[in-house]
Amino acid sequence: MQFSGEGESNPQPLTRPTVGITIPASLRALRRRSMTPRPKARRSTTETEATGFWRILCLCEVANFAALRRHLGRPRADLLAGDVAGRVLEQCADVRIVSVGRNLVEIAFERETMDAASADLETLRQAMSAPFDCEGEQFELDVQFGAAAAPAEEHDEVRLSEAAESALDQARTERRLVMLDLSRTDLAFDRLALMRELPRAIASGEMFLQYQPKVNVRRQVVASAEALVRWQHPTRGLILPGDFVSAAEQAGAIASLTLWTLRQVIADQKLLAADGHDLTLFINISGTLLADTGFVEEACAIVSESGARLGFEITETAVIRDPGTAIRHLQKFADIGVSLAIDDYGAGLSSLAYLKQLPAKELKIDKMFVLQLTSSNRDPLIVRSTIDLAHALEMEVTAEGVETPSALALLSVMGCDMVQGFLISRPLGIGALRAYLAEEGHAAPASNVNTLFHRPESFWKRA
């Protein structure tokens, strides 16, 4: 991939080949204009370094492409990247843009500061929220942005491209614009290095688990907990799941990582049960594993032999990838007593058609709707309707991201069954969780008048 490097007499546009897309003639004209660098953008290396010039590479993806293709048909859907490119150029005419797939475009430009680059990307993100006209009909495109920014003296094009891809992975998960700053010495990770190191890390015990409790609102006791895997790297320090899970999927190590997690959670669940806290412990299952028959069979054997109380959390998008296989395998888990929870509900393309088919007993409302529950007009309506829907489907509801007593009070009034978040507890190691449960007497019967919720806010925020 070529990028318009500073100090070149004739900067060149990105030349990655276009894959499977035809851009309308009007957009091709815009594209030719946009890919011609303006004179004021040309600077010598010395000048760009002196002024803090930044190079930006952004990947812009139509996340709901598959759903739109079913409505529009393949020929028209294949033009969606061109539609996105056209709208980008309407907002920022000086960028260079090229299509790199049917649902992906690559945008390159330069700015004097990171703040200016962030502002332009936010303008683009907001512009994408308006409906697109497709053959006379209005459609909303779910467009995600992942970008990387490098100072003028940074000439590693591969690193810039990999950072943009990493940012897009993070944007898909967090549902927000993500821009990584390559000038930071603490930039989270080198994806290729992590992919190489993961098998060794799993084998050498660098992985560990933390647990975040979930409280039953009516009974006012900790009813279960979610296991969260962490990586204590010997030189990089603590690496969080958002940084290494996608790398594990790409490296083919996600199955071994999940099976390690499963065995460790079983051991920890038995420790808690011996303490008198027979809680269900949940682990997150990657969508790629729901189509892996070998993994499903091995996981079922491990769970059946253990007798531990376990739950699996899966996202809707994991099911949408291959609904038939995913639902069949989820039913196998349910048949051996594994509790199933739908995670991050509302953050993606929620589908009632899939929701009613899943053998899940719990639905978790994404924290994006909970964090502003008491300051938004719409979020309470969405949360209340989701609670009612889940109850109609005989599911319990967990609200993620509960951080204030006012949000807890409102969720209680709405009939939410369980809550999870920093107001209850931050994620704890198994030793800290055992001490926490013992100290607060969560094994006491629900009729105990000394309930969990009669506490000052300072109590809830202790880790």
Tens of pLDDT, residue by residue, the chain (463 residues) = 333 333 333 333 333 333 333 334 433 343 333 333 333 333 333 333 444 589 999 999 998 888 888 888 888 988 898 899 999 999 988 899 887 777 889 999 999 888 889 889 999 998 998 889 887 888 889 999 999 898 877 766 777 887 788 788 878 877 888 888 877 644 445 667 788 888 889 889 899 999 999 999 999 899 999 999 998 888 877 777 877 888 888 788 899 999 999 999 999 999 999 999 999 999 999 988 998 999 999 999 999 999 999 999 998 777 766 788 889 999 999 999 999 999 988 765 556 767 788 899 999 998 888 888 888 788 899 999 999 999 999 999 999 989 888 999 999 999 999 999 888 888 889 999 998 898 765 433 333 333 455 444 444 333 3
Please tell me the predicted confidence (pLDDT) of residue 152.
78
Please tell me the predicted confidence (pLDDT) of residue 347.
65
The total of other beta-carbon atoms located within 10 Å of residue 131's CB is 10
Per DSSP, helices labelled H in 252-355 are 254-274, 293-306, 316-321, 323-335, 352-355
Give SS3 for 312. Answer: strand
Question: Distance between CA 265 and CA 285 in Å, rounded?
Answer: 13
Does this model's pTM top 0.75? My answer is no
Per the CB < 8 A criterion, the answer to whether 363 and 395 are in contact is: yes
Question: Distance between CA 207 and CA 45 in Å, rounded?
Answer: 43
Per the CB < 8 A criterion, the answer to whether 237 and 206 are in contact is: no
Q: What is the radius of gyration, based on Cα positions, of the chain?
A: 24
Per the CB < 8 A criterion, the answer to whether 281 and 309 are in contact is: yes
Question: Distance between CA 118 and CA 120 in Å, rounded?
Answer: 5
**Tokens coding 459:** 């109590």
The total of other beta-carbon atoms located within 10 Å of residue 358's CB is 22
Contacts of 387 by beta carbon, 8 Å cutoff, 6+ apart: 365, 397, 414, 415, 416
Per DSSP, helices labelled H in 128-214 are 157-174, 191-203
CA atoms within 13 A on the CB side of 218: 7
Q: Which residue has the tokens 């993100």?
A: 125
User: Which amino acid is residue 122, in one-letter code?
Assistant: E
User: Which amino acid is residue 19, in one-letter code?
Assistant: V
Query: How far apart, in Å, are the Cα atoms of 385 and each of 102, 154, 381, 397, 401?
Result: 35, 50, 6, 11, 18
Please tell me the predicted confidence (pLDDT) of residue 20.
33
Concatenating the DSSP letter of every residue in 383-402 gives HHHHHHHHHHTT-EEEE---
**Tokens coding 374:** 């008491």
What count of residues does the chain have? Answer: 463
**Tokens coding 248:** 């594990």
The total of other beta-carbon atoms located within 10 Å of residue 96's CB is 22
Per the CB < 8 A criterion, the answer to whether 290 and 297 are in contact is: no
Strand partners, 338: none
CA 208 to chain centre: 20
CA atoms within 13 A on the CB side of 78: 10
